[in-house]
Structure 1
Amino acid sequence: MSRRTLLAAGVGAAAGLAFAGAGVAGVGATRASAASPWWAKLSTRQQVGQRVIFSYPGATPPQALFDAIAAGIVGGVIFFGENITSLTQIAGVVADLRAAQADSPVREPLIFTTDQEGGYIRRLKGQEPVLSEKKIGLAADPDAAATAAGAGAAAALRDVGMNLNLAPVLDVFRTPGNFDDQWERSYSSDPRLAGRLGADFVRAQQGAGVAATSKHFPGLGAATAAQNTDLDTVTLTQSLDELRSVDESAFVPGIAAGVQLVMTSWAVYPAIDPVYPAGISPTIVQGELRERLGFTGVTITDALEAGALAPFGDTGTRALLSAQAGMDLLLCSARDLSQGFDALDAVTAAVDDKSLNPGHFKQSLARVQSLRASLF
């Protein structure tokens, strides 16, 4: 499906409407609407770049990534197992990437992130958190275990120079054998316990200076073993009442605890939006997350290369649809620099031709820059 077809279907108009109402401006918007912030002097392409998270293949970042950082068109980098051969090696890589920003016009720290969830899902192998979320939920003192996990994740990431963790997972477990169950990524089938332990993790990690990300809003816990948004379209058919009272409710304690980011899922939830996956649905991003739950921090997409987005065009189209829906950070995690540049090109063109409202774009950029100003 082409970008023109998608926009004609009403995504652009819906995104514009979605920015009305309470909570939309979020963190940093007051600054953006008063005196011009320093980043207003950046080119449009540089401003867009602050919202794009890049990835690369192998253990050595390509020169093109260093050049892009120096040019001020990179918001951050996500690291995967293939990028990490040892703690010393990845700490050196992060230091080198930081140094590339020395001559950049961008002042705020780059985002350096990974998935250090715990248990099986740890890009920094052998480092905390050792316990999976499932084991934390089953611990004799789960709150203490969740707090220790958050503090441990922060220490592991800080030691190698990373400043943002894509954790905790707040999917409320339902189906034996599903993806979260297989990899022990859910605290509990009880949304109250899952939410409380997620908030414990958030407070401990952010208290140690590493930003946390609650994911995957509004929740993937009802998926079956055969449903994986990384591979294909996933439709979850809970009622609106169940989505709100079970899945979304697990995110509430983390939001109250001040979690700095929320990652959306790529599943479709017909009870809320029968057409668009959560991360490109203004109804979910703005209506449910911001207006209903009052989240004012930074939103981040899941992987833009996910199979669930196959019906929605190429990387550029997916990035634009996400931005129009209200997503702040665009996660280009295919380990291919061209993916990040495709997103950069598409969103820049949309700001220039006003198909992405410039005012809304700058509100989003203000949230991102406020987050980054808080990082080391």
Structure 2
Amino acid sequence: MLSLRRTAPLVAVLAVLAAALVPVAAGSAAAPAGRRPSGPVGRTAAMPSTDSRLLAGRRIVYSYPGPTPPPAVLQAIREGRAAGVILFGENATSPDQLADAVGRLRQAAAESPVPEPLLLMTDQEGGKVRRLPGAPELSARATAASPDPVAEASRSGAGAGRNLADAGLNVNLAPVVDVYDTPGNFIDHHERSYGQDPFVVGELGSAFLAAQQGLGVAATAKHFPGLGSAARDENTDERPVTLPVPLADLRARGEEPYRAAIAAGVRLVMASWAVYPALDPERPAGLSPTVVQGELRSRLGFRGVTVTDALEAGALAPYGDTGTRAVAAADAGMDLLLCSARDPQQAEDAAAAVAAALDSGRLDRAAFDAALARITALRASLG
């Protein structure tokens, strides 16, 4: 994302099991770099049906500028056309202001036809990447360097959980479980990695997420299958990034912490926008069925919710507008589609494109319903 940048009730558990039993669709190929996909996704003449527009919206995460939720966002929530909202520093200028904003968002959700709570999320990693003041104050690097790293990671996760829950939020887009390879590179420079040993990173990331989720705030492991080899200037928020890591190394280092996170019960996984030629030479991870469905779901066995990084990221410049990107991500197997440019219209455009693709058959209905079931189960399990 644009960074620097209860246990579940029985209905939620049943929904998760139902979703897990639905086969993941193979997913059609997204367009290679420099080309827009052909077919229905590239056309905007056909108006999506009311039903598909509502369903598509339940996979979209909105964002907005400034301290006050705008009418367009509140209306989308009231109509049940939003899965959630991501909050940034500009949306949280003081405790009282944030309480007012979250109250407005929750009230809109209470007026909607959707019974499940709205997903209210932010990036609260610790260290330099914190949208709210307070815990966790230590960065991942500082946590790993502490006398008792596992205990410290657990304290940080509990601190993040309490902080977000007290503010009325229920999803944290953390922890980062990228394993960096070169000191001072993109992830290490910002102190966002627990280290260079994938087993240590997996252990500390799992301690963080387990403590946080024990307090009712869902955690997100990111950025699959790993940004640890990105150079300091290789920021996917800003431009396309290709990471030519050999497949054996990518699986042994980049993906290994996700095994631990999945075993620890992580609720969400965010995919990277980098291209990994060893897996898919043409598409970023979050647009690639090979990465999302092949590696994450089939190979590692993840059954939770997948979430994109920012659909407006510079890394996706060759892949069309926000709507085109949203359809390609959904087709690849991403569940939640994150629009974090603080422009509600981008989210509306993404929802319209996904709805049109659903109506036209560009998106497989069974796969779409399975994604929506996973999101609904997540929402039902949170306060």
Indicate yes or no: 2:268 matched with 1:261. yes
TM-score (norm 2): 0.87
Shift of 1:265: 0.3
Aligned twin of 1:101: 109
Give the secondary structure class of the aligned counterpart of 2:55: helix
Gaps of 5+ in 2: 1-14, 24-49
Q: Distance in 2 between matches of 1:323 and 1:173?
A: 29
Aligned twin of 1:234: 241
Deviation string for 1:177-202 (max 9, x for gaps)? 22212210000100000000011011
Aligned twin of 1:15: none
Higher relative contact order (CA 8 A, sep 6+): 2
Give the secondary structure class of the aligned counterpart of 2:195: coil
Deviation string for 1:268-318 (max 9, x for gaps)? 000110000000000000000000000000000000011010000000000
Alignment of 1:72-151 (within 5 A): 72-125=80-133, 127-151=134-158
Q: Distance in 1 between matches of 2:110 and 2:239?
A: 41
Sort the Cα spacing of 1:165 and 1:231 in 2 relative to 1 into closer, same or farther, 3 A.
same
Aligned twin of 2:286: 279
Is this contact kept in 2: 1:304–1:319, CA < 8 A?
A: yes
Shift of 1:32: 7.8
Q: Distance in 2 between matches of 1:314 and 1:216?
A: 22
Shift of 1:27: 4.8
Residue identity matched to 2:101 = V
Aligned twin of 2:227: 220
Shift of 1:336: 0.2
Residue identity matched to 1:53 = V
Indicate yes or no: 2:44 matched with 1:54. no
Shift of 1:331: 0.3
Is this contact kept in 2: 1:167–1:214, CA < 8 A?
A: yes
Shift of 1:358: 0.8
Deviation string for 1:322-349 (max 9, x for gaps)? 0000000000000000010010000000
Give the secondary structure class of the aligned counterpart of 1:43: helix
Larger deviation, residues 66-75 vs 310-319: 66-75
Is this contact kept in 2: 1:118–1:132, CA < 8 A?
A: yes
Is this contact kept in 2: 1:91–1:159, CA < 8 A?
A: no
Residue identity matched to 1:91 = A
Is this contact kept in 1: 2:176–2:192, CA < 8 A?
A: yes
1:353 corresponds to which of 360, 366, 373: 360
Give the secondary structure class of the aligned counterpart of 1:195: helix
Q: Distance in 2 between matches of 1:50 and 1:220?
A: 29
Sort the Cα spacing of 1:234 and 1:32 in 2 relative to 1 into closer, same or farther, 3 A.
closer
Q: Distance in 2 between matches of 1:244 and 1:268?
A: 15
Q: Distance in 1 between matches of 2:259 and 2:122?
A: 23
TM-score (norm 1): 0.89
Q: Distance in 1 between matches of 2:109 and 2:294?
A: 36
Residue identity matched to 2:60 = V
Q: Distance in 1 between matches of 2:168 and 2:272?
A: 27
Larger deviation, residues 43-52 vs 207-216: 43-52
Residue identity matched to 2:373 = A
Residue identity matched to 2:87 = F
Residue identity matched to 1:294 = G
Percent identical among aligned pairs is 57
Gaps of 5+ in 1: 1-24, 34-41
Alignment of 1:327-338 (within 5 A): 327-338=334-345
Deviation string for 1:233-290 (max 9, x for gaps)? 1010110000000010011111001000000000000011000000000000000000
Residue identity matched to 1:219 = G
Count of matched residue pairs: 343
Give the secondary structure class of the aligned counterpart of 2:270: strand
Is this contact kept in 2: 1:119–1:129, CA < 8 A?
A: yes
Is this contact kept in 1: 2:22–2:366, CA < 8 A?
A: no
Indicate yes or no: 2:176 matched with 1:177. no
Shift of 1:50: 1.1
Residue identity matched to 1:129 = P
CA RMSD of aligned residues (A): 1.4
Shift of 1:28: 3.7
Alignment of 1:189-204 (within 5 A): 189-204=196-211
Shift of 1:101: 1.9
Shift of 1:88: 2.0
Q: Distance in 2 between matches of 1:31 and 1:102?
A: 30
Is this contact kept in 1: 2:20–2:303, CA < 8 A?
A: no
Give the secondary structure class of the aligned counterpart of 1:203: helix
Residue identity matched to 1:135 = A
Aligned twin of 1:29: 19
Deviation string for 1:71-122 (max 9, x for gaps)? 1101100001111111221122111111012221111100000000001111
Residue identity matched to 2:163 = A
Q: Distance in 1 between matches of 2:226 and 2:96?
A: 35
Is this contact kept in 2: 1:27–1:296, CA < 8 A?
A: no
Aligned twin of 1:9: none
2:327 corresponds to which of 301, 317, 320: 320
